[in-house]
A and B are shown apart, each in its own frame.
Chain A
Amino acid sequence: MRATTRERELLETFVALSDTLVVDYDVVELMQLLVDRSAALFDAVSSGVLLSDAQGRVEVLASTDEDARLIELMQLERGAGPCLEALATGEVVAVPDVREVREEWSGFRDQALALGIHAACAVPMRLRGTTIGALNLFRARPGEFDVDDLAVVRAFADVATIGVLHQWAIVEADAVRTQLTYALDSRVVVEQAKGVLAFRHGIDVEAAFSLMRAHARATRQPITDVARRVVAGDAAVSPPAAD
């Protein structure tokens, strides 16, 4: 494993994060470390983590500075700024030049410029299709975010996701174990379900997969949920009846 300087810095950050997670762990401390390191590594003037709770309330969990205007900026409701946009869509929302945002975001623009922010990037924190928060970076100069940087910011957002998961683990050990196990074995279950359908309907595994995917689309369910039911013996997934 030959690591570049950047990768080494990242690995150090990961190790620092894992230290935080192991000893007397506090989710806010972890997020603080994460935003501070993110700001330093990605040349940002500010950085912050937004978290959405089960009731859909959004709060800023950590931020590089306590300026109320920055907190407000991150909490601008959906349709008014990039941070909640990322949270709502589960997609990265990059604003390379704050001055050029669309009109609906003028409130965001004015407040950002007042804070000396000219570019922003909001990266969703996702687990299994659910977006639980967003990591936000704000830069003083306009410009596109580098693709490699974005990949790393995503990794940081994933770390933040793990941090939150871990917090849940302390609160409710079983729930998180289930989530993690679910994530670990979801693809295994998809493969098993292919086998079940292949045997049941006398088709090959590719055809079985198409069948399962079509059923998942038609019933608007994640394919892993369909697969789980197939393996448990649910016979609902079957080829179109022959006339």
Chain B
Amino acid sequence: MTPGDLSAAFVASTGLDGAAITTFASGPGAETMDASDATSARIDELQLDLGIGPGWDAHATQASVLASDLARDERWPALRDACLALGSRALFAFPLAFGGMRIGAVTTYAAEPRTLDDDVLARLTERTRSASMLLLLDTVREADRDTSRNPRSRRTVHQATGMVLARFGVSAPDALALLQAHAYTVGLPVAQVAADIVEGRSRFLDPEPAATDGLGEERP
């Protein structure tokens, strides 16, 4: 079993419409490990792009985070509007931790506002335990690997973060924040902005005033 199979367990017999599994490393290292459908994948991308959302909160508080009617929820306005536009009207996130070790979160959505009864909540909680275990196993097993095998890895974002930190002489978290702010300003996903930077199509790293030779220039 791989992290690529994990999200489906949170959809089966829970009445939920999708689930995404996220790992939160220190600083800017969050990754989507698995998503059961395109909407879940997109919601998780939004959470990671914006740096806010129920998954982050579940991870930070180590408690479930329930937004049963997203339209009337004021916690994450930017995320909320994007989720509603995607047809997701309820979000529920649960921490993934094992024996006190925090790993990540699972974020589920429903197309209509709904509450989760005790039975479903118990089932979901039960599933977080085996998912946490399997994620941790995967982490231990993959720790020796240079390159992630996760097809959903945000490796381009990490690469662009490195370029931004080298260009502006800031820390990795600050470099990611710059990237996120830039993406938000131009209204594109962070991954898109990052790909443009890594492939040399963006002027974001240009010295000021904009020079003709960009990326290769040695700075004094």
Contacts and interface: CB of A to CB of B under 8 A. Distances in A.
Most interface-central of B26, B148, B160 (chain A CB within 10 A): B26
Given A196-B165, A205-B159, A231 B99 contact: no
B104 to A, nearest CB: 9
Contacts of A22: 99
Interface residues of B, number: 55
Contacts of A126: 140, 144
Nearest to B146: A223
Chain A contact residues, majority secondary structure: helix
A11 B131 CA distance: 10
Contact of B139 (A17, A180, A205): A180
Interface string A168-200: 010001001100111111111111111111111
A195 B165 CA distance: 9
B80 to A, nearest CB: 28
Contacts of B24: 184
Given A189-B29, A200-B166, 18 more contacts: A1-B5, A1-B12, A154-B141, A159-B133, A169-B100, A180-B139, A185-B26, A187-B145, A187-B148, A187-B153, A191-B158, A195-B159, A195-B165, A199-B162, A200-B218, A203-B216, A213-B146, A224-B146
Interface of A: 1, 7, 11, 14-15, 17-18, 21-22, 25, 126-129, 154-155, 158-159, 161-162, 165-166, 169, 173, 176-177, 180-203, 205, 213, 223-224, 231
Interface of B: 1, 5-6, 8-9, 12, 23-29, 31, 98-101, 103, 129-130, 132-134, 136-137, 139-148, 153, 155, 158-167, 172, 198, 205, 215-218
16 contacts: A18-B98, A25-B99, A126-B140, A128-B144, A169-B101, A173-B100, A183-B139, A187-B147, A188-B31, A190-B147, A192-B172, A195-B161, A195-B198, A196-B163, A199-B163, A231-B162
